[in-house]
Every structure is written in C-alpha cells, then in structure tokens.
Amino acid sequence: MPDKVLDDLFHETLKDIYYAERQILKALPKMARGAQSDHLRQAFEKHRDQTETHVERLRQVFEIIGKSPRGKTCPAIDGIIEEGEEVMADFKGSPALDAGLIAAAQAVEHYEIARYGTLRQWARQLGLDDAAALLDETLTEEADTDELLTEIAESEANVEAAAPA
C-alpha cells in the first residue's frame, strides 16, 4: 500500500464535508418547519441559502484540485442530524423545542467549523491559496451562523424553555 500524504487526506476530508453539506441541505427545511420562533425559522432558511453557496464553493475546490465533486458517507453528520430529528419528535409543541433545535443546529455548525478550519489550513499548507480563500469564506459564514444561533438561544429560546408552564 502506498504511503498516503496530505493531498490524499485533503481530498478525503473534502468528500466528507461535501456529503455533509448536501445532507444539511435536506435537514434545514425540516428544522425551519419545526421551529416555533419566526426568528429561528428565518435563521434556518437563511442558512439553507448559504449552504447552497457552500456546496458550490466546494465544487470549485474540487475543480482546483482536479477532482470530480463526490461525497463520501459521513456517519458523524448522519448521527448529528438524526439527533436533531429526535429533538423535533420528542419536543414537538413544547416550550423547549426551539432550544433543542438550536442545540442540534449548533452541533452541526461546530462539526462544519472543525472541518472547514482544518481544510483551510491544509489548503494553505498545500499551496492551494484559491481553495483556502473559498474555504475561509465558508468558515466565516459557519461561525457567523453559530453566533446568531447563540444570540437566539440566549435572548429567546432558552428563556422560553426555562419558563414554568
């Protein structure tokens, strides 16, 4: 077996996040429909639009490295999304639903932040400056989404979840 190098790891991780983003595109409309707060629903809808752009940027990165855009099943994101679906089922109609949806969405965001941060650094190491710039753009948007979700949690969702019935 030949030795694998950073190029190989970069490509494999790129396939991982490509799959993840496409799964997230499917999950966000469900989360938006499940949200009780208009503010949270709008945040999910906005992030769905951003995620379409993230997928397009990933396609550009694949092009930069001369590979076809292809995903690789990612059990981590599948599990995180499944947990979000469980929250929607278990807390439907309850004051804690939006807080649970935010927690699930932030688990997704943190996964993405970890992946994009790593890919950006590897792209820099590999001299793929155009790819690094694209990945950095997405990383910034993921971090902004995480901050927005924290703001909604602290100002609305957690307060409502903690209120006595």
Task: Provide the residue ranges of all domains of the chain, joining segments of one domain with +.
Answer: 6-162
Handedness of CA 100, 104, 107, 112 (dihedral sign): negative
**Helix/strand/coil for 36:** coil
pLDDT bucket at 163, cuts 50 / 70 / 90: confident
CA geometry: angle 46, 52, 58, nearest 5 deg: 135
Over the stretch 42-61, which tens digit does the pLDDT of each residue have? Answer: 999 999 999 999 999 999 99
**The overall pTM is greater than 0.75:** yes
Over the stretch 65-99, which tens digit does the pLDDT of each residue have? Answer: 999 999 999 999 999 999 999 999 999 999 999 99
Cβ proximity of 42 and 86 under 8 Å: no
Topology (CATH level 3) of domain 6-162:
Ferritin (1.20.1260)
Angle between helix axes 6-34 and 75-90 (nearest 10 degrees) is 10
Over the stretch 6-25, which tens digit does the pLDDT of each residue have? Answer: 999 999 999 999 999 999 99
